[in-house]
Amino acid sequence: MNITYDYYRIFYYVAKYGSFTKAAEIIGNSQPNITRAMNNLESQIGLKLFIRNKRGIVLTPEGEQLFEHIKVAFFHIYQAEEEMKNQSSMASGSVVIGVSEIALHEVLLPVLSGFNKKYPDIKIQITNQSTPITLEALRLSQVQFALVTTPFDIKKPMKSIPIKEFDELLMASENFRELKKGKQSLIELVKYPWISLLPGTATRTYHEDFFADNSLDFTPQMSVATTDQVLPMIKAGLGIGFVPKNMMESTEGLITVKLDKEPKRRSVCLVTDEEHPLSAASLALLEVIKGMAGI
């Protein structure tokens, strides 16, 4: 079949937005021309691609199958166009990143300084939320890519790449000086007041899973919104809690509690949506981030 590329381009937008009218607005053509083009496409393919109803159009199974191939082709075309842009395009580029708090400190902040020196005119917008909220923002295309901490679950077309592992230390104040002696068991530590993040965050899930693996329930007496709120509460003697090692500014007046069974190391992961085209500026920053992991 010798079908014009323009028909496929129109089909992509009609299928994506479920509307001939919306596709016409985006392409800059009239609705009758869009309808005529799709009628011609169906005629040339010899299959029904759309079902018209009062709300717009719905793809037939054959239409869905064609759209799966067409959207991949458009993704690669867009990526190729972005990659072909010259260096001057980087001067006016922008990047919107979704990042969880720990990922911000462990990965993003260390790379931003060098990146900003190399591309001083690129605008960077950072949204700092919990891992679940950040991943939802990526799914809704509100951010271009995400840096989040394990554990989390994602489905295609999202893709995760581990960038950096990190350790958490169990910390306590001198109020609990008896915890200095030797290694402590979780079954004894559950008797102490714990401080952790709010339920639903990746960090809270990680702690719950760690306790569950040891047949214990994790029920902290205090829950806070962000990781940087945990340490001040520990220093105030309100309880014990895990703190990322690299976020420890000072251990003065604190005790590092040693466990007889250490939790698994956590990871900061780069998550992208493979159906979400990235700008040249985003691709450049991604390469720097991947460089941390030797990718």
pLDDT in 10s for each residue of the chain, 295 residues: 678 889 999 999 999 889 898 999 989 999 999 999 999 999 999 999 999 887 778 999 999 999 999 988 888 887 777 666 644 555 567 899 999 999 999 999 999 989 999 888 888 999 999 999 999 999 998 999 999 999 999 998 999 999 999 999 999 999 999 999 899 999 999 999 999 999 999 999 999 999 999 999 999 999 999 999 999 999 999 999 999 988 887 778 899 999 998 888 999 999 999 888 888 888 889 999 999 888 8
Nearest to 134 by CA among 164, 170, 160, 172: 160
Claim to verify: residue 157 and residue 223 sit in the same structural domain: no
Identify the domain containing residue 46 by its residue range.
Answer: 5-84
Rounded Cα distance, 253 and 235, in Å: 7
Structure tokens at 241: 């809690």
- CA 22/CA 56 separation, integer angstroms: 10
Same domain (yes/no): 139, 278: yes
Same domain, 111 and 234: no
| DSSP E strand stretches across the chain | 50-53, 56-59, 94-99, 123-128, 145-149, 158-166, 168-173, 183-184, 195-197, 222-224, 241-244, 254-259, 266-273
Same-domain status, 209 and 71: no
Do residues 250 and 224 both lie within one domain?
A: yes
Q: Name the domain boundary from 37, 57, 84.
A: 84
Same domain flag for 44 and 75: yes
Q: Verify that 51 and 78 share a domain, yes or no.
A: yes
Q: Report whether 66 contacts 94 (CB < 8 A).
A: no
Residues 154, 186, single domain; the answer is no
Task: Provide the token pair at 261.
Answer: 């069974």
What is the per-residue pLDDT for 87?
46
Q: Are 110 and 254 in the same domain?
A: no
**What are the two backbone dihedrals, phi and then psi, of residue 174, each rounded to the nearest 5 degrees?**
-65, -15
Query: Is 196 within 8 Å of 130 (Cβ atoms)?
Result: no
State whether 20 and 51 are in the same domain: yes
Give the dihedral sign, CA 168/173/178/182.
positive
| Structural domains counted in the chain | 3
Q: What confidence score (pLDDT) does residue 83 get? A: 60
Beta bridge partners of 112: none
Q: Cα–Cα distance between 107 and 103 in angstroms, integer?
A: 6
Give the integer Cα–Cα distance in Å for 167 and 212: 19
Q: Are residues 260 and 187 in the same domain?
A: yes
Does residue 160 share a domain with residue 277?
yes
Residue 257 maps to which CATH number?
3.40.190.10
Terminal C-alpha separation, the chain? 41
